[in-house]
Chain A
Amino acid sequence: MLTTPTYELTKSEKSFISQHLLFAFIALAIGSLFGPLQAFEFSGVDFYPLLEPVIQSYYQGLTLHGVLNALIFTTFFITGFLTLTTIYGLKRPLKYPLLNRIGFWTMVVGLLMAAVPILLNEASVLYTFYPPLQANVFFYFGLTLVVVGSWIEGYGFIFTWREWRKENPGVRTPLMTFGGLITMVMWQLATLGIAVEILTMLIPWALGLIDGADPQLARTYFWFTGHPLVYFWLLPAYVSWYAMLPKQAGGKLFSDSLARIAFWLFLLLSVPLGFHHQFVDPGVPAGWKYIHAILTYAVFFPSMITAFTVIASLERAGRKRGGKGWLGWIPKLPWNDPSVSAQLLAGILFFFGGIGGITNASYNINLVIHNTAWVSGHFHLTVASASALSFMGISYWLVPYLRGRRLWSRKWAQIQTWLWFVGMLIFSNAMHVLGLLGAPRRTPLGEAPYVPDEWSGHLLRTSIGGAILFVSAYMFVFNIARTWWSKKLLAGPDEEVEIPVAESVHPAQETPAKLDWWTPWLIGTVALILVAYGPQLIEQIGNIDLSSPGFRP
């Protein structure tokens, strides 16, 4: 009844996943060029004039940084990685490989279509693209195709799982597959917001079919997707932390049941809380903002479960490796494995991301930090640490596995993960402090007239942190590139890269069957979205006012 104990991916499966990663890493390499330019500008060192005419403005650079790193790198990496967790977890090929290929190439076409206007400075609207700032219509078409492509890949995973379920009745869905499926199903629901925003408002408006946009309604649509987007970034990292990292650390998952409960709660709670990004918006009633604040508190709960389960798994592993005392298990963990150190350090940074997140979500406390540098500092601890650094760690075994080549340098990889950690601590701490002092986000502070002397030390720290992060990002890119095209093929069985699959202390089959049952959770998720968003959507759509003409930045 249990399927074969091992499953070797076919050459074409490996190359399909590799294609995802290639686009992801190219996006990361280009997008990361612009991060330090922002950070240096804060100290008054502005490289942008030197980049003309290729890059024409600070905001063109910032748009490239946000779109390529936060949207493209993540989406391509995630769809590639979750292809692996689907087929390797289920130990069967994709049901419709062609469907997934169509999804992937749809994303590629979308990426190229959006890239052209961005590179021509025709879409310097940042990755939130709030109207009435208007981009070239191909920017919106491109983003739409990227999202639609990711949907199609998600359908491919779901069809594959349904086929597996028919072949394996009564078997618990392997955790890595389960987490990936939840990520993609959540993503389907969550992206309805920007789909409606782009298709019903922004595209007709950019084409001149309607005279104006409704900027407030657009914000509501955007943040319907915008917060769950964070969980789309994060959950694949959780998949690795729960279903792979315990094995890499030499142990087992502490609780399969609680891991599944956490994933279900993320499905249930990721979407109906977007108003916590709109606490200071004029067009959303305070009462609804308060309700979404409380729902955001609720989604903190599964992350706290995750913290315990993952750390306990690591503690168990560290004790098996000879760790003694309260904390003696920590140094016993295999820190010399860059894949492990990346994920451990990502987890530590994410502690601070969580603290900032619960602060942001706290209704009126948001007044202190809204639209300040605090926010950018915060999401560099989530998407750029918990997710990005974990993805780098995953890449350190995934790329050798897919390409059949030895990692070019473990030493570089190890140093790279620590540099990211140190650089991010400096950068994000400075950004948080700047935010508390009132520094706005998305602003070239080097040229702002209202910057007091008090900020200068922190602005400098931002630059230093940014420089370290840049070095780290390029050490990663270089290492991966050298590995990718290396001539050193893996030789023999002792060099073989194994996909880490963590067993659970209590086998997954002992987890209650109800935790593998979608119907009640899907009904609950849709119901909660309707309750939390329905009345305001009816109100705001009912009062739609398409009177804002577009402005090209």
Chain B
Amino acid sequence: MSEVPGDGSVQTSLHIDPYERNWMRLTVVLLVVFATAVTIAGFALGFQVPSPEERVDPNTVAIGDGPFGEPGLRAYPDGSYDLYVVAQMFSFAPNEVTISAGSEVTFYVTSVDVQHGFKIQNTNVNMQIVPGQVSKLTMTFDEPGTYDFICTEYCGSAHAQMYGTLTVEK
């Protein structure tokens, strides 16, 4: 495995058909275009994915004095909200939340038992909820309506029942 095998007397060359060579070039161009579009959306427009926020102890996070001890909405004078959500088999606390249209909400979600998912339908809020970690994303809700947030990771027998509702009022 350590040496180039001998060539014998045979003339070797890398045969690449000109059509295939152009196909490889096109592939590279296509991938660069896709990467550029994704990069612009992510870093110029602000369509971002979650990043580490905070480590917590899943056994105590929901019973202490911290924000998850009393999950729910925190309203701020500028009209924005923080929403702390505790996920557990097989419900979210809180599971009904009402905000007013046009407000910016920062979601902080953690789990006290197994892994869960937190996906708000018809939005890009989609997070893995991992015990010991806090998942965080911020989004502004301009459209009034009802948005279900559902558990998207298998968490046990009644996983399909696990959801809540976010109401955006005019």
Contacts and interface: CB of A to CB of B under 8 A. Distances in A.
Interface of A: 1, 57-59, 126, 130, 132-133, 162, 165, 169-172, 214-216, 219, 254-258, 278-286, 289-290, 293-294, 297-298, 300-301, 304-305, 308-309, 312, 358, 362-368, 370-372, 438, 440-445, 447-450, 505-506, 509-519, 522, 543, 545, 547-549, 551, 553
A367 B126 contact: yes
B16 A258 contact: yes
A445 B15 CA distance: 52
A254 B41 CA distance: 39
Interface in B109-162: 113-115, 117, 119, 121-122, 124-136, 148, 150-157, 159-161
Interface size class, chain B: 35 or more
Nearest to A366: B49
A304 B27 contact: yes
A215 B131 contact: yes
B27 A280 contact: no
Given A438-B121, A548-B131, A162 B59 contact: no
A254 B17 CA distance: 9
B58 interface: yes
Contact of A257 (B3, B15, B153): B15
A358 B38 CA distance: 12
Contacts of B156: 133, 551, 553
- Give 6 closest A-B pairs by Cβ, nearest first: A371-B152, A170-B6, A282-B133, A282-B135, A440-B152, A448-B160
Contacts of A358: 34
A219 B1 CA distance: 34
Contact of B117 (A57, A126, A278, A440): A440
B28 interface: yes
Given A133-B114, A305-B20, 15 more contacts: A170-B5, A280-B126, A282-B127, A298-B31, A300-B27, A312-B20, A365-B38, A370-B119, A438-B150, A442-B154, A450-B150, A513-B4, A513-B5, A518-B1, A519-B3
Given A255-B16, A365-B38, A517 B130 contact: no
B89 A551 contact: yes
Contacts of A298: 31
Contacts of A548: 58, 131-132
A97 B92 CA distance: 56
B7 interface: yes
B30 to A, nearest CB: 9
A214 to B, nearest CB: 7
A284 B129 CA distance: 12
A450 B119 CA distance: 12
B105 to A, nearest CB: 16
Contact of A280 (B3, B28, B50, B163): B50
